[in-house]
Amino acid sequence: MRRACSLVFAAVALIQSADGQKLVANYNESKVPDYDLPDPLLLAGGGRVSSVAEWEEKGRPATLKLIENEMYGRMPVGKPAGFKVVLDKEEEDAVGGRAVRREYLISFAEGKGPEVRMLLYLPKNRTGPVPAFVGLNFRGNQCLEEDTRITPELGYVVGSRKGEDRRAKAESMRGSAAGRWPVAMIVESGFALATACCGNIDPDYHDGWKNGVHPLFTEGDPKPDEWGTISAWAWGLSRLLDALEGIKEVEARRVAVIGHSRLGKTSLWAGATDPRFQVVISNNSGCGGAALSKRAFGETVGRINRSFPHWFNGNFKKYDGNEKALPFDQHQLIALMAPRAVYVASATKDQWADPQGEFLSVLHAQPVYDLYRKSSLGVTEIPAPGQSVGSLTGYHLRDGKHDVTPEDWAFYLAFAKRHLGEDLR
């Protein structure tokens, strides 16, 4: 499959790698290498999937295993025996009286391992269980609002420079991510929102696998096909969903998983590995997320593995500077969600994440959705900024930089309303 292109950008950019090397990033469509995308319906042993039954029996399991083995890594299966959820705090008048806000403490093993604080918002204008968005945040729950009642994150994520006052640092970050999490907009649309800090599940640095959830299940370094941090975070998202299943005000069968940037990579892998997520949303996830790796546009496999060696498994490093050898690409990750709803979004000034490559992943996942007679992206060229396309699979390109904004959320809320219940339309 020859590359498709409709956007042309500046030719190259010099990037400083983690070890001081100068790397060249391509931002010119004419310099994208020729590549062949694997047919998502082609079976490894020969032949081609031609029915839903064949995809679900053979195609999907084989595709999931391939991507798991060569990129994200095997993770533990299911809820651990020591899983525990405790309600720690509740306020009835959050978000200017629009929501009930709760904090739950989630642990995975008795007396050891990390403890995750899940922040949950429940809309006050609804009766009965409501659908929910669940996603991880980067710097702690206190970043969602300036409200001082939210317990601050005091772990490594707020900084650990010598002599630094962690509490003061955490307090200074209150409300810093409010634009990314428009809580009032979400609860007024009838959705609950659950979030937790990703670093409390697994640290976002290469710590030798000594912290987070890895030591609970993996002794020493993970094997080349075992989980990295992206998989650990995805596993954590499934545990947040486990917690929501025990909260009567939430309809846990109607949950959308969402993530931005590296956490957008995480939401896609969580959606692929846990079919309980009925809607999967990726915002500006780029390389290792929605963008096609074989395009080698913006961030590449070699660049991401060099800068973040802990994100993916050891096998993925075989493809550093060698994307052509990848036996799969990210459109097959999107296809793993079929027939559930998937939405991908990009930003015009975020060429590092390759908007064209993100769009093409959604487009080239369509043959699998066609098996279910639900293929509905409706276009073959990337849409103009500000235009949302598709129905079961969706995409938009936003004017602006690498971020998630209320404009993005307006599209996500409309998409989730279509797929998570008549009562929200």
| Of the candidates 282, 230, 289, 229, the residue with the CA atom closest to the CA atom of residue 256 | 282
Of 401 and 111, which is predicted with more confidence?
401
Residue 228 contacts residue 222 (beta carbons within 8 Å): yes
Between the CA of residue 112 and those of 82, 116, 252, 372, what are the distances in Å?
A: 10, 12, 28, 45
Residue with tokens 């007679």: 373
| Residue 329 · residue 292 · CB < 8 Å | yes
Whether the per-residue pLDDT at 362 is higher than 70: the answer is: yes
Residue 162's pLDDT band (cuts 50, 70, 90): low
Residue 17 has pLDDT above 50, yes or no: no
CA dist list (Å): 41 to 274, 332, 391: 21, 9, 22
Query: What integer pLDDT is reported at residue 125 of this predicted model?
Result: 82
- Consecutive H or E run containing 257: strand 250-260
Question: Which two three-digit tokens encode residue 364?
Answer: 């080239």
- Domains of the chain, by residue range, sit at 1-72+285-402, 78-255
Helix (H) or strand (E) holding 148: none
pLDDT (tens digit, 9 = 90+) per residue, 72-115?
A: 999 999 999 999 999 999 999 999 999 999 999 999 998 888 99
pLDDT band at residue 24 using 50, 70 and 90 as cut-offs? confident
pLDDT interval class at 166 (50, 70, 90)? confident
Q: What is the pLDDT of residues 215-242, one digit of tens each?
A: 999 888 999 999 999 999 999 999 999 9
Reference 415, options 283, 281, 284, 289; nearest CA is 281
Catalytic annotation, residues: 261, 402
